[in-house]
Structure 1
Amino acid sequence: MNKLFVFLEKKRLLRNKNQDMNTVLTVFKWLAIVYFGLMFLLLGIGGYFSIEKAGLGMGSPIQVISRFWMYYMVAEMMMRFMLQKLPTASIKPLLVLPIPKLKIVKFYVGSSFVSAFNFVQLLFIIPFTIVCLSKGYSIIGVLAWVVAVYLCVCTMHFVNILIESYKSVFIAVIVVFGSLAAIQYFNLFDSTEYTQYLLYSVYEYPVLVLAYALILAASIWLTIRYYVTNMYMDDLLKTKVEVGTTQEMKWLDGFGTYASFLKNDLRLIMRNKRARTTVLMSVLFMFYGFLVLTPGHNGEYPMFMMIFVAFFVSGGFLMMFGQYVPSWDSSYYPLMMTQNITYKNYLKSKWLIIALGTAISMLGAVLYINKSMELVYLILAMGMFNIGVNGYIVLWGGAYLKSPVDLTANKNVFGDKNAFNLRVMLISLPKLFLPVIFYYIGAAICGFWGGVVTLAIVGIIGMFFQVPVFKFIEKIYKKEKYSTLDAFKSK
């Protein structure tokens, strides 16, 4: 049976319309895997000796790793949530065949485990184990400890799936990791002094590795149970209908011909899970500076980091919402193209909603008044730059993004995720690097204020060049119109 599933997957990949883009993505993916693999290998070989040489006073290298293991788990969970591409499957044709649902689920859940996220850690674990054994550590203790470490890695894979399946799991993960982060950030006490025993106790009492095995087994069982109980043809075919509420939004009528588009976008955000999550993520970006900004030896924040913080604080909505234009409208895009709607009005309305979201994000500057007034001014200037320059770049890149968006879910192990596009990636690079370049050009002339004023002026000038810019973007959208329609219809 598994051979049949593998054969069907090969057929699906060979028939994929975006095979060329997937090939490019695979090249970049393997370059990243090789890089991180080498980093893990070097850490595995030299990590033991580096910890000993550092003289941290926290015990043996195993104790040190056990102490900071929670930080690694948080970082990996964030990486998995944002980057891990879970395999997709067209399961509707399989449900009409005499194939047990359990076999279908087991195959696709099992195949989802075949990921670099789950194996690259072995390049650290195996060398580190060899070094520890050569240093005379207990063989049983070390083996039990490394098995527990790898079981944690495996568990994170299935927890990542469960986060999308059960809202309670997502909330639990956020509460646990958020509480630990708050304890560390506000220096209430060092939580790592206590969390280290969750892992180090396995070295001292190897039988405790069974607890980690049980946790992994429970996560696998919950994952399989979720998909088996929700895999019914009726559920997959029927359209979910919800009772909606009507919002007048008369305050938007002042935007004239763009008002109806703006109202539709705001209704989309308020009514759909994916769009609401996007707004939530945009709000979280406003607190980005509290996570990454640390004062240097002179008590001041590095200017390079302040620029990036200003970009992410003011540009959270721009990145999270803007990058999916026109994919947000994929469900009714073909119908919209049959109406008396011009691309100019459509694009201008999208730019206005991005500008509105960016302007609201700029209010996040108030959060950093106690940290640095320079950062506050930088956020405001960066917000103007994002509206006047990056807003256009995002819409330009959207012309080449032909991945439909499922408004009812964030992502799904059986869903469709094909949002990578090389042109979009290349067009998006200036969005991040242009503000840095313009700031340093201005700073080279008149210092900090020269950089801030340059960003603000460039953004304001960009706002006055709307007509020629929108003409250029409109031509691109018209050129890509039919390929976009074909992509949205074949979702």
Structure 2
Amino acid sequence: MVSTFIGHELKAFWRSKNTGKSIAIRVVMGLLILYLFLNVLVVGILLDKMLEGMFPDEDLVKAFCGIILIYFLFDLLMRLQLQELPTLRVQPYLHLPIKRNALVRYLALTAALSVFNLWPFVLFLPFVFKVVGPDSGALVSFAFVVAIAGLTVFNNYLALYIKRKSNLNGWVFLIAAAVLILIITCDFRWHLFSTRDISYAFFGHLITMPVLALLPFVLAVVMYYLNFHYLKQNLYLEELTAHKKVSYKSSTDIPFLSRFGRVGDLAANEIKLILRNKRPRSALIMGLFFMFYGLIFYTNKHYGENWYLFVGMFMTGIFIINYGQFMFSWQASHFDGILVSKINFTDFLKAKYLLFTLVSTVAFFLTTPYVYFGWTILLVHFVMYLWNIGVNTTIVLFFANRNAKRIDLSKGASFNWEGVGATQMLLSFPLILTPYIIYLPFALFKHANVGLAVLGTIGAIFILTRNFWIKKLEEDFVQKRYTIAEGFRNK
């Protein structure tokens, strides 16, 4: 049955309209991965020399045992960000006489075919065969290989389990990432405990008790069956049943948004889309990292005050730029349903404005501590906040009507250029350059505050006339909606 599934996947790939582009991307990715493998292999071969330099007073095997668990800790953090979930379109098989276990087994086993599972072997096995084997014998070397393999498989299925749970509840991913970051901080920053000591306590005992290598193997098996059970329980979506009673839910799971009625419902659905899918969620997470952007510019006198405009725009509007450049593409998989549904497109656009306003407002309040570097900075942030939710939001939605590039939400965010086109490149120019075109003439004649006042006034005018711009955007969308829908259908 596995061979049948693989055959169907290959046929779907070769029959896709974007096969040529996919092959080109895979060739480039293959060359990049091969280059990374060669680098890791060199590190693995020279690992004994590197450990001698890093820990000159320690036994070489002891130093090696101390870094293994540290590697797998960072490996898990990297998998949560970069590893993609294996997918199979199960709906076409649900009405066929195919056992659920066969479908689930295929998804569970193909999850092991990840390039991340090869890194630890390429990195650690050269040291095991060069140092551990001659020093402690073949049995101990085999125990190390089994333990490393067990932890690799455990990390693989633990990361997938967290990501699958995150698809239903986005907070699961954030909590898991926060726990890992807290563990790393408690060790390397606050020194509350030592991961090296814990690592050596286990791997050091493998030399005298090789049977302990079965413990990571057992953990890997347990995690595999947790994934297997979770997939089996969630193979059939409750929404597919014809007997489910349909009722309209006027409020959302986010009580604050319920006061906005249907617009709030649409905004809440988009928030759920962001939290449950990797690529849009990465746009939100990147926005949080950009909150530290000011520390680069405000603490360095080399950058003048003209840079404040750029920094303020990015910190209060990075989500609008990152997420907004793919606007409508996020709904590509169900865009046809939106067109034929009872959703008023005016409400649809208002929901976009509401989402951007909420996120930018939170970002503005998070940047208020930068007032420590001067009240001018807070003023610039407020002006650019008004500009972002007024002007930049309108520009983003204007270019959204000219974007027909599809995005598959089931794919990960790493090395994923799906949906990127000329529209995104053109969008960056008005977003970044327009405020400077207005501000710089005033700044050059020593009237920077007047320039800020003009920017803030324009932003406020766009906010107050938002209904006018929504009407114009809706008229523009009506003319282009079929072109957009046709583009989204191309897979």
Query: TM-score over 0.5 for the alignment?
Result: yes
Note if contact 1:132-1:142 (Cα within 8 Å) is conserved in structure 2: no
Match of 2:158, SS state, is helix
The alignment's C-alpha RMSD in Å is: 5.7
Give distance in 2, aligned partners of 1:50 and 1:457. Answer: 58
Which of 208, 211, 214 is equivalent to 1:210?
Answer: 214
Note if contact 1:40-1:121 (Cα within 8 Å) is conserved in structure 2: no
Q: Corresponding residue for 1:266?
A: 267
Structure label with greater radius of gyration? 2
Of 364-373 and 100-109, more deviation after overlay is shown by 364-373
How much has 1:396 moved relative to structure 2?
Answer: 3.5
Q: Corresponding residue for 2:195?
A: 192
Q: Corresponding residue for 1:255?
A: none
Which of 406, 417, 420 is equivalent to 2:418?
Answer: 420
Q: Corresponding residue for 2:404?
A: 400
Of 106-115 and 134-143, more deviation after overlay is shown by 134-143
Amino acid at match of 2:93: L
Q: Corresponding residue for 1:408?
A: none
How much has 1:210 moved relative to structure 2?
Answer: 0.3
How much has 1:213 moved relative to structure 2?
Answer: 0.3
How much has 1:487 moved relative to structure 2?
Answer: 6.1
Give distance in 2, aligned partners of 1:87 and 1:189. Answer: 37
After superposition, the C-alpha distances for 1:421-479 in whole angstroms (9 at most, x for unaligned) are: 34279639959x969xx8xxx9xx99xxx9x9999999998999999x99999999678
Note if contact 1:48-1:128 (Cα within 8 Å) is conserved in structure 2: yes
How much has 1:292 moved relative to structure 2?
Answer: 10
Q: 5+ residue gaps in structure 1?
A: 253-258, 406-410
Give distance in 1, aligned partners of 2:31 and 2:459. Answer: 37
Give distance in 1, aligned partners of 2:113 and 2:187. Answer: 34
Show the 5 A alignment for 1:298-337: 314-315=316-317, 317-318=319-320, 321-330=323-332, 333-334=335-336, 337=339
Note if contact 1:294-1:301 (Cα within 8 Å) is conserved in structure 2: no
Give distance in 2, aligned partners of 1:454 and 1:146. Answer: 65
How much has 1:216 moved relative to structure 2?
Answer: 0.6
Amino acid at match of 1:227: L
Amino acid at match of 1:274: L
Q: Corresponding residue for 2:359?
A: 357
Note if contact 2:386-2:460 (Cα within 8 Å) is conserved in structure 1: no
Show the 5 A alignment for 1:4-403: 4-55=4-55, 59-60=58-59, 62-64=61-63, 66-133=65-132, 136=135, 138-166=137-165, 173-174=176-177, 176-184=179-187, 187=190, 189-197=192-200, 199-201=202-204, 203-204=206-207, 205-232=209-236, 236-238=240-242, 245-247=249-251, 262-269=263-270, 273-276=272-275, 288=289, 314-315=316-317, 317-318=319-320, 321-330=323-332, 333-334=335-336, 337=339, 350=352, 353-366=355-368, 392=395, 396=399, 399-403=403-407
Amino acid at match of 2:7: F
How much has 1:97 moved relative to structure 2?
Answer: 3.0
How much has 1:211 moved relative to structure 2?
Answer: 0.3
Note if contact 2:405-2:419 (Cα within 8 Å) is conserved in structure 1: yes
Match of 2:46, SS state, is helix
Match of 1:187, SS state, is coil
Amino acid at match of 1:54: M
Give distance in 2, aligned partners of 1:67 and 1:400. Answer: 51
Distance 1:478 1:131, change over 3 A: farther
TM-score, normalised to structure 1, is 0.69
TM-score, normalised to structure 2, is 0.69
Amino acid at match of 1:77: L
Give distance in 2, aligned partners of 1:239 and 1:177. Answer: 42
Question: How many pairs does the alignment contain?
Answer: 464
How much has 1:154 moved relative to structure 2?
Answer: 1.9
After superposition, the C-alpha distances for 1:355-398 in whole angstroms (9 at most, x for unaligned) are: 44223212111456779999978977876786655984687378
Give distance in 1, aligned partners of 2:373 and 2:322. Answer: 26
Amino acid at match of 2:210: P
Give distance in 2, aligned partners of 1:340 and 1:107. Answer: 39
Match of 1:150, SS state, is helix
After superposition, the C-alpha distances for 1:160-189 in whole angstroms (9 at most, x for unaligned) are: 221144469868845642441342476152
Distance 1:239 1:148, change over 3 A: farther
After superposition, the C-alpha distances for 1:199-222 in whole angstroms (9 at most, x for unaligned) are: 533543322110000011111111
Note if contact 2:146-2:217 (Cα within 8 Å) is conserved in structure 1: no
Distance 1:362 1:166, change over 3 A: same
Give distance in 2, aligned partners of 1:379 and 1:207. Answer: 60
Give distance in 1, aligned partners of 2:42 and 2:294. Answer: 28
Match of 2:49, SS state, is helix
Distance 1:240 1:68, change over 3 A: farther
How much has 1:52 moved relative to structure 2?
Answer: 1.4
Give distance in 1, aligned partners of 2:163 and 2:459. Answer: 40
Match of 1:246, SS state, is coil
Note if contact 1:359-1:383 (Cα within 8 Å) is conserved in structure 2: yes
Note if contact 1:81-1:160 (Cα within 8 Å) is conserved in structure 2: yes
Give distance in 2, aligned partners of 1:375 and 1:179. Answer: 31
